[in-house]
Amino acid sequence: MSLFGQYIQERLNKSIVENDKGFATFYPLHDGMYIEDIYVIPDERHSGEASRLADQVSVIAKEKGMNRLYGSVKPSAKYATAALKVLLAYGFELSEAGPDAVIMRKEI
């Protein structure tokens, strides 16, 4: 595990799956796992790597008896439209929305 992974686990009580192409940070939320961030290096975007990382989180969630994934998009953030497209393509559906937050969920 990278130093960043060790840091977020120790300091923030969050988990990470990572490889040389990207990472996903996540933590339990309600009856599921909230994927806080997925980052894939630019050369590997559109390769399916984000889905593979999310699949790893999904396996961990199922092992813990959870049946949902959660994610969110902040509409004012850079690349918000692309992030929303990624979530929708992976099968997430709209859960709720606020002034600057779109909350998504996926049954697993």
103 has a pLDDT exceeding 90: yes
Distance CA 91, CA 28 (A): 19
Distance CA 15, CA 66 (A): 15
Residue 30 is predicted with a pLDDT of: 85
* pTM given for the model: 0.92
- Residue 11's identity, in one-letter code, is R
Which CATH number does 3-107 carry? Answer: 3.40.630.30
pLDDT digits (tens, 9 = 90+) for 6-53: 999 999 999 999 999 999 999 999 899 999 999 999 999 999 999 999
Helix (H, G, I), strand (E, B) or coil at 62: helix
pLDDT digits (tens, 9 = 90+) for 56-87: 999 999 999 999 999 999 999 999 999 999 99
Element containing residue 34 per DSSP (H, E): strand 32-40
C-alpha torsion angle, residues 83, 86, 90, 92 (rounded to 10): 40
96 has a pLDDT exceeding 90: yes
101 has a pLDDT exceeding 90: yes
